[in-house]
Chain A
Amino acid sequence: MPVQDPAARARNFEEVALGFDRENALLECERCLMCPQPACVEGCPVNIDIPGFIAKMIGKDFEGAWNHLTDSTLLPAVCGRVCPQEEQCEGVCPVGDRLEPVAIGRLERWLGDQAIANGWRKTSHIEPVPFRVGIVGSGPASMACAADLAKAGCKVTIYEALHAPGGVLRYGIPEFRLPNSVVDAEIANLEALGVEIQCNTLVGRLFTVEQMLGEMDFDAVFIGAGAGTPRFMDIPGENLNGVLSANELLTRCNLMHAGDFPSYDTPLGLGKRVAVIGAGNTAMDAMRVSLRLGAEQVHCVYRRTEVECPARKEELHHAQEEGIQFHWLTTPVELLGDAENNVRTIRCQRMELGEPDESGRRRPVPVEGSEFDFEADTVVYAIGTSPNPILGQTSKLRLNKWGYIDTDATLATSLAGVYAGGDIVTGAATVILAMGAGRKAAASIRSYLGIRDSAVVYAPDRVGFDNSLFGIELAEKNFTHVQLV
């Protein structure tokens, strides 16, 4: 897929990956082997019928392909951009044994973008059921759960604490990876399904989860409250000014438009020499945002090597192309400031790899006497998060030993009727895993509420002759309760 030139894109917020055009999309479709037992479908956390939608694309039925795709995923334009396809559908594609695997993510993105551009909508009738479901948070887990429940006929209300919906898609993932216009379009799709979104609502404090089930009269609740509190390392100097979490940097930039200060009121105060600690996807985002906001040098400090780097290969590769300087096997031990309490220097220590630890990765061990300093006027921590404490503080929900919400295999929590999924259950993960959890919780809520046909509603079509079943259009079947008696 064509990408923007690294030198140019490192200074703008336009999308890095430019996407397919129609001709290239069609060419790419031809590479699919149409495996009878497609590994890609198994490899997808939401089990998209990949050969099914590609077949429709080959037949140039693009809207049909999109309809088929969106039976399983609410957010094709988002997931096509941010899913780690190389570990999922594309990672198991047999074409990839010898050649490049079929670019499933890019095809998904192309279809999602076509839908937005052409205003494709699913207009099928949704038969209402007499249930109200409240959803905490408006990120990918909540959006996926809300969509499935709205399609099942429930009245769904989403509560978002920030002033704009979308969760991590809004405040976290930067514009050059996922444009806000795409997020807006996907949220509009959700609202078209009848989902109500209330921003400025902090569940736990404005009302509790128990109150939602009680006086607020919700029949079930889904919690997709998402990311936790950022972790720091507890080394000297962390409270100096100019030291911040990647969450703060990204929230200021993406949600609050601090890059456009002073025409927006939120300042960022980014320096010229930025050091980011950590090498996951969030670290990559923080580094590449810093570059685009005018940092002259951006350094990545990571205690293991490139091999253990947890970011997607594509993101790491893009960051390297854009001129980020990587310091592998390096860890900060102290941050030093000036008289005004601003960070000026980061003191690091070299590491070497020792025996494998419980994660199977070789444990980094400090090299004695290897300390060295380098200059940095902004230091960003991207080393993960701890669970957000608000719902634990304000409800009787049982938490696990790490402080995340405890659920069983169906994503049911310790409170009857309350389900949870996404980062608030698993800790920081990916958009698609959160969406998968949202859909799984929606299925559990449907069976908890006794809504029928939950299993057939989203099953990929394996029956079909001329796209109908008992004379009923499949697209319609996917939205309504077919009485199969």
Chain B
Amino acid sequence: MSEEDRVPGASAAAVSTPGGKADRGGGFPVVDRQDFSETTFLLEVSHPQMARAARPGQFVIVMLDNHGERIPLTIADFDREGGTITLVVQAVGKSSREMQARMVPGARLFGLVGPMGIPSEISDARKVICVGGGLGVAPIYPQARAFKEAGAYVIGVVGFRSRELIFWEQKFRDVCDEFVICTDDGSAGIKGLVTQGIEQAIAAHGDIDEVVAIGPPIMMRACAETTRPHGIKTMVSLNPIMVDGTGMCGGCRVRVGGRIRFACVDGPDFDGHEVDFDDLMARLARYRPQEREALDRYDDSCRRLAMAPAGAPSEKA
């Protein structure tokens, strides 16, 4: 694939693997897409075998094309009959922005491997709070559903910036006994953070057995700190920087209970009260300068493409 092919909007058609033979496995077709906001979108990708194998809490690694990064994404949902898995992506960096531009129905992901990681333990807790914030709203859904199916009383607490960004409300209501929306601006539900929703639920129910929280590290830390004084078991799902995702590189190492664990093979779920979130957040910042550089170059190439006369040959990215 030449540099010229790599301009945004170009189709993800036939690419060759470094192995030489074109298209081993043929890529993974995107069958549906929904845009929740300017930056958040959902992809449904056809992979019948993975749809059968996936369980709540697991993740995949995707590659957009053969120049791409390997990006870990939590599996937001799976449809065993339809043979698809659902991914929710936030377009914040170069790779995810490029995904947003190119991954429309009919396009193909170059690489998709999974399900990876140890599935979440759907414990025999009788009453659980499932908390989702930001990108974590989608992957908390299959957990809530699994707890419901296991007979638990499920309280869903999800956080959004404002009313317009809310998605899957009905899906959640169908599997939750109680459902609490928190918004930053108060345009829907509680005005405030998911931790307020958790506080409220704990106050209303004296017998919460477990809290499961998925979202940005800062939110998961806040959730863990909220439940710590109550001594309620709190599981969080970590998504550090990874390369292979199979335990080989050690890039995803996290400090849990004073020990080094690899999120890809020992996790991604860990006891939130044991996780060293400062360490996790510092390590997530590892490539910030390079991420900035890649994004600037990408934005620049988008601008030049937008200004180029229609039909003109595109410049090198």
Contacts and interface: CB of A to CB of B under 8 A. Distances in A.
B234 to A, nearest CB: 22
Contacts of A170: 18-19
A34 interface: no
Contact of B247 (A228, A257, A261, A381): A228
A227 interface: yes
Interface in B82-100: 94-95
A389 to B, nearest CB: 5
A262 B117 CA distance: 29
B306 interface: no
B68 interface: yes
B175 to A, nearest CB: 25
A234 interface: yes
Interface stretch (B105-113, B120-128, B129-137, B191-199): B105-113
A67 interface: no
Given A200-B25, A239-B283, A205 B260 contact: no
Which of B18, B70, B94, B293 has the most chain A CB atoms closer than 10 A to its own CB? B18
Contacts of A202: 113-116, 245-246
A161 B246 contact: yes
A267 B253 contact: no
Contacts of B248: 171, 227-230, 247, 251, 388
A205 B268 CA distance: 14
Contact of A248 (B111, B250, B283): B250
Nearest to B18: A164
Which of B20, B63, B291 has the most chain A CB atoms closer than 10 A to its own CB? B20
Interface stretch (A85-93, A183-191, A326-334, A361-369): A183-191
Contact of A341 (B111, B285, B289): B285
B244 A162 contact: yes
A264 B66 CA distance: 8
Interface residues of B, number: 59
Contact of B287 (A162, A245, A247, A269): A269
Nearest to B294: A262
Main secondary structure of the interface of A (DSSP, over half): loop
A228 B113 CA distance: 19
A173 to B, nearest CB: 14
Contacts of B116: 202, 205
Interface in A139-195: 161-166, 170-171, 180, 184, 187-188, 191
Interface in A198-236: 198-202, 205-207, 227-230, 232, 234
A163 B111 contact: yes
Contacts of B70: 163, 256, 266
Contacts of A164: 17-19
Q: Please tell me the size bucket of the interface on A.
A: 35 or more
B251 A244 contact: yes
Interface in B249-265: 249-251, 253, 255, 260, 262, 265
Given A161-B246, A202-B113, A207-B49, 20 more contacts: A163-B18, A165-B24, A184-B18, A184-B19, A200-B111, A201-B113, A202-B246, A205-B117, A206-B50, A230-B249, A241-B285, A251-B244, A262-B293, A263-B317, A265-B68, A265-B94, A265-B294, A267-B287, A388-B265, A393-B265
7 cross-chain pairs, A with B, having the tightest CB-CB distances, nearest first: A267-B290, A248-B249, A341-B282, A184-B20, A163-B111, A230-B250, A245-B250
Interface of A: 161-166, 170-171, 180, 184, 187-188, 191, 197-202, 205-207, 227-230, 232, 234, 238-239, 241-242, 244-245, 247-248, 251-252, 255-257, 261-267, 269, 340-341, 381, 388-390, 393
Interface of B: 3, 17-21, 24-25, 28, 49-50, 53, 58, 63-64, 66-70, 94-95, 110-118, 243-251, 253, 255, 260, 262, 265-266, 279, 282-283, 285-287, 289-291, 293-294, 297, 317
